[in-house]
Amino acid sequence: MGLQETTTLRDYLRVLFRHKAVIITTFVTVMATVIIGLQLKTPLYQAQVKMLISAEKQVEAPYYRDLLKSQNAEVVLTQSEIVKSNPVIERAVRAIGLYERPLDYEKRFCSNLKKPLIDFQVSRFKKKLAQLTEEQKKAFRFRLAVEDLKKNIKVEPIRDTNLFTISVSDFSPLGAAIIANIVSRSYVIFDLEQQLAELQLKYGEKHLSVIQMKDNIEKMKESLNGKPLSNIEAIGPASVKIIEQAQIPLKPAGPSKHLTIILALAMSSFLGVMLAFMFEYIDQTFKSPQDIEAFLDIPLLGSIPRKKKFRKELLHNLSGQLYLLMKDKNLKSLLLTSALPKEGTTTIVANLAKHLSQKQGHKVLIIDANLRNPSMHKAFKISDNSGLADVLEGRTSFERAVQDIGSNLNVLTAGKAELNPITLLESHRMSELLKTVRERYEIVLIDGANLKDSKDALALCSYADGVALVVNEGKTRRQVVKSAIALLEQKKANLLGVILNNRAFVIPGFIYNKV
């Protein structure tokens, strides 16, 4: 990830602050999605009835002895499926009148954000209903209510017992409890009706057991209003018994909104940090001075910051280090080039020259050797009518072409080349020109073309005393720079090191100074 072997806290903080846009975007996106999702999700309340499957009861009645003698998990599962069968659910729907509920029933309980969506869905549904007859509408809404109730019912056996639960979800807590009780009683009635059919076949219509069963069914039908029953009435004579009636739930089902938001806060932060480190890992550009030495194994000469408030100090350090290095190695001319275009080489050359000449008092010459795309004259706002190309082609002399900027700084612009630039830069005249200016100036800075678009800079390597490669932080890829260095090594250039341009100090100063 561009970190050194010995990773420090600063390295981790640098990754986080460098990719803070990714972290913030991820955080905002996840949180906004969760909050909007919570607003669009109407709270559901869940009421639960506990049922027992038992074919025995402490009452002398022959039909109980004739029913199941034992229970197992398969029987429980079978009965659980019966709960969601059409005879049970349809009876419950009729008893409550669910098919007569307003189409926008959910609007009473949903957020303001969801209300327009419900209105839109209802309007579309009404258009479909408008194409049906009144009888068809009733039948369609009844079937829709049945299917909807089935979706909101969950039947779960309780492990290692003959018990199972019937859970019903509804937007209204009271409605959930009423529907759960009615569904459980409708299920009991269905069970009684099955027993009644068996008893009628076995004993006939006038048998006491048949009459008692019919009475029990009628009494249970009267309870299909959702009101609580006494425990004795709830247990009843059926082979399935209501052990625990549904109570009005006090809070919505599922995790609370507060817990969901807290989890979303944690997960969005974690995801943002993970994405930041993932992007750092896949990013093959240079992102710090440490990357230069770690991946290129060549010295870092200095860096130019992206922000102006750091530029003066670091430019002073860079110019001072370059001067000491060139003086120590008895170098006079330095070629600055880059692996890619628009790396800021011209700006660096101009700023270094100004600092060396104006601030440190050295006699400096700038040569714009980028004959294909010259820009040094724009940096100093001077004429480019006569320059290096004119001198090399013999149309003018160096003394006439060079321009005095003042404060020990002279500039030789690129001029207008009529011949192939690489031919001019490889010529004997270029070699002689550099020999001449070495004697007249303390420092000669040559602004070379980038190595991707042309080989012009490579032609100057054998004439310049040293070469510095400009690398743009966060833009120049490692493999591109390594390829450029390989080209310079093939030409046996004296590569002094790398200048890191547009260096970003991503960690705030008050944090950086404390870690």
Distance CA 285, CA 300 (A): 16
**345 CB neighbour count, 10 Å cutoff:** 26
Q: Assess contact for 210 and 15: CB atoms under 8 A.
A: no
Mean pLDDT of 80-92: 91
Owner of token pair 């670091």 = 314
CATH number at residue 317: 3.40.50.300
**pLDDT score at 60:** 40
Of the candidates 469, 461, 458, 459, the residue with the CA atom closest to the CA atom of residue 296:
469
**pLDDT score at 259:** 92
Range scoring the smallest mean pLDDT among 58-72, 82-96, 311-325: 58-72
Shared domain for 32 and 53, answered yes or no, is no
Shared domain for 359 and 308, answered yes or no, is yes
Owner of token pair 């370059």 = 322
Q: Assess contact for 45 and 170: CB atoms under 8 A.
A: yes
pLDDT per residue over 450-466, tens digit each? 999 889 899 998 899 99
Cα–Cα separations (whole angstroms), residue 511 to 21, 379, 514: 18, 36, 5
- Residue 4 included in any domain: no
Give bridge partners of residue 335 from the DSSP assignment.
446, 467
SS (H, E, C) 209-263: HHHHHHHHHHHHHHCCCCCCCCHHHHHCCCCEEEEECCCCCCCCCCCCHHHHHHH
Domain boundary, last residue among 222, 244, 266: 244
**pLDDT score at 486:** 92
Shared domain for 368 and 411, answered yes or no, is yes
Shared domain for 209 and 350, answered yes or no, is no
Q: What is the mean pLDDT of the chain?
A: 88
Q: Specify the number of domains making up the chain.
A: 3
Shared domain for 212 and 349, answered yes or no, is no
Q: Decide: residue 400, CB within 10 A, 0-12 exposed, 13-18 middle, 19+ buried.
A: exposed
- Residue 269 included in any domain: yes
Shared domain for 52 and 200, answered yes or no, is yes
Cα–Cα separations (whole angstroms), residue 78 to 71, 73, 82, 83, 198: 11, 9, 7, 9, 19
Shared domain for 441 and 490, answered yes or no, is yes
- Residue 1 included in any domain: no
Shared domain for 357 and 502, answered yes or no, is yes
pTM, full prediction: 0.73
- Residue 398 included in any domain: yes
- Residue 159 included in any domain: yes
Q: At what angle do helices 173-203 and 86-96 cross, to 10 degrees?
A: 130
Shared domain for 263 and 341, answered yes or no, is no
Of the candidates 426, 495, 497, 496, the residue with the CA atom closest to the CA atom of residue 463:
426
- Residue 89 included in any domain: yes
What number of residues does the chain have? 515
Q: Does residue 120 carry a pLDDT above 70?
A: yes
Q: Does residue 9 carry a pLDDT above 90?
A: no
**pLDDT score at 88:** 95
Helix or strand (DSSP H, E) at 502: strand 495-503
- Residue 2 included in any domain: no
- Residue 249 included in any domain: no
pLDDT per residue over 301-319, tens digit each? 988 888 776 777 788 888 8
**163 CB neighbour count, 10 Å cutoff:** 18
Q: Does residue 188 carry a pLDDT above 60?
A: yes
- Give the domain extent around 193: 44-244
Shared domain for 309 and 413, answered yes or no, is yes
Q: At what angle do helices 20-40 and 257-282 cross, to 10 degrees?
A: 150
Shared domain for 260 and 398, answered yes or no, is no
Distance CA 468, CA 472 (A): 13
Cα–Cα separations (whole angstroms), residue 51 to 154, 162, 184, 216: 13, 8, 8, 18
Angle formed at CA 357 by CA 354 and CA 363, multiple of 5 degrees:
135
Written as six digits, the tokens of 265 are 């806060």
Distance CA 258, CA 28 (A): 17
Distance CA 284, CA 296 (A): 13
**pLDDT score at 5:** 53
Of the candidates 298, 317, 328, 333, the residue with the CA atom closest to the CA atom of residue 446:
333
Per-residue confidence band for 20, with pLDDT thresholds at 50, 70 and 90? very high
Give bridge partners of residue 471 from the DSSP assignment.
500
* Core vs surface per residue 201-214: b (16+ CB within 10 A) or e: eeeeeeeebbeebb
Mean pLDDT of 384-393: 91
Sign of the alpha-carbon dihedral angle for 345, 348, 353, 356: negative
Give CA torsion, residues 141, 142, 146, 149, to 10 deg: 60
Shared domain for 265 and 355, answered yes or no, is no
The Cβ-side half-sphere exposure at 44, using a 13 Å CA radius, reads 14
